[in-house]
């Protein structure tokens, strides 16, 4: 019975940490508007102060499913706008775990041609981990494993990024956090000698992102884009999207996450400064066919402060 009890505890904890182990960094469908979260070199690249808020509810209807809130700010610095500064706050919840990421980004840009710019970025931040074991369904209320919650466990973060763009093309490579952190020791904290210990590890996430804007007509622009995320020990993630910008106001798009989900996206430029976006994911896996999963939703709001120009010189998806 003790061995069975240990296996049940392990299964519950595995569910709690599966998302962090396999998916690692928070997942976004509207990543084209949230590049600063994963690539510090993006800071200041839009030429204006840009403030973005995003909420994602993943696998709606599934108890303990991931929920993510993101707030970012980035702006160019100096008269020549060679430098950029950014700030990101991400709260990521799943089951009994609650993670907060706070980071500051700095970028430096070098003009490579009349239109091309190459930016280098650094990210420094903190990761705070909270786990409320009381939210788990405990088979043994006296098990010491569940007696002490984890509150604001701190781990540092250091990341780097590279970002090249023109007014129509962009390409970026980044590692938001180069430090791997083990959140638990190998030894079990339970008084049950047969209990199985567990380990939650922050793994290095490698990102690649690229896209190009085609002018179909004066009023229609088309932008295919690809985001790739590599985490050793987890499946390769590839997001392929196709977005159309109509009359510089309405954005319509579809996307496919390799072996994971299909997505519909819509965005509207309410004014030159304010944009709102919405995305819906439907899983293509067995999880997507579950009666407890109604898909994933994302809502994004972006506000930009213009100083030198009445509006962007070119429509930007990135």
Domain range for residue 81? 26-178+202-307
- pLDDT mean across residues, the chain: 82
pLDDT tens digits, 187-213: 444 444 444 445 556 678 999 999 999
Higher pLDDT, 29 or 104: 104
At 82, which helix (H) or strand (E)?
none
Q: What is the CA radius of gyration of the chain?
A: 21
Beta strands in 189-286 (DSSP E): 201-202, 206-212, 214-215, 220-230, 237-246, 250-257, 261-269, 274-283
The pLDDT assigned to 318 comes to 78
CA distance 34 to 209: 12
Report, as an integer, the average pLDDT of 135-158: 73
* Residue 87 pLDDT greater than 90, yes or no: yes
CB 305 within 8 A of CB 36: no
The CATH number linked to 150 is 2.40.160.40
CA distance 111 to 164: 10
Return the closest-CA partner of residue 245 out of 213, 271, 272: 213
Any domain includes 97? yes
Any domain includes 18? no
Any domain includes 85? yes
Q: What is the pTM of this model?
A: 0.82
The pLDDT assigned to 211 comes to 94
The pLDDT assigned to 182 comes to 63
Domain count, the chain: 1
């Amino acid at each position: 019975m003790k061995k069975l009890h240990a296996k049940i505890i392990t299964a519950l904890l595995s569910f709690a940490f599966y998302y962090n182990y396999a998916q690692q960094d928070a997942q976004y469908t509207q990543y084209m508007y949230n590049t600063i979260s994963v690539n510090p070199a993006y800071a200041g690249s839009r030429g204006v102060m840009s403030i973005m808020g995003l909420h994602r509810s993943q696998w709606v209807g599934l108890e303990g499913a991931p929920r993510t809130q993101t707030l970012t700010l980035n702006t160019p610095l100096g008269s020549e706008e060679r430098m950029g500064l950014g700030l990101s706050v991400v709260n990521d919840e799943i089951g009994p775990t609650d993670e907060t990421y706070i980071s500051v980004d700095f970028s430096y840009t070098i003009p490579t041609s009349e239109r091309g710019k190459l930016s280098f970025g650094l990210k420094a931040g903190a990761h705070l981990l909270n786990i409320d074991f009381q939210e788990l369904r405990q088979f043994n209320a006296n098990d010491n494993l569940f007696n002490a919650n984890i509150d604001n466990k701190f781990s540092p973060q250091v990341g780097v990024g590279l970002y090249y763009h023109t007014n129509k093309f962009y390409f970026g490579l980044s590692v938001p956090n180069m430090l791997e952190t083990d959140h638990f020791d190998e030894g079990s904290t339970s008084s049950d000698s047969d209990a199985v210990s567990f380990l939650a590890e922050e793994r290095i996430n490698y990102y690649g992102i690229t896209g190009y804007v085609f002018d179909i007509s004066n009023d229609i622009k088309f932008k295919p884009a690809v985001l790739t995320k590599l985490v050793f020990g987890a499946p390769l993630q590839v997001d392929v999207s196709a977005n159309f910008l109509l009359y510089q106001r309405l954005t319509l798009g579809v996307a496919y996450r390799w072996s994971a989900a299909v997505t519909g996206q819509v965005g509207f430029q309410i004014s030159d400064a304010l944009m709102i976006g919405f995305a819906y994911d439907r899983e293509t896996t067995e999880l997507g066919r579950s009666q407890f999963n109604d898909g994933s939703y994302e809502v994004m709001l972006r506000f930009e402060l213009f100083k030198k120009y009445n509006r962007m010189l070119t429509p930007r998806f990135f």
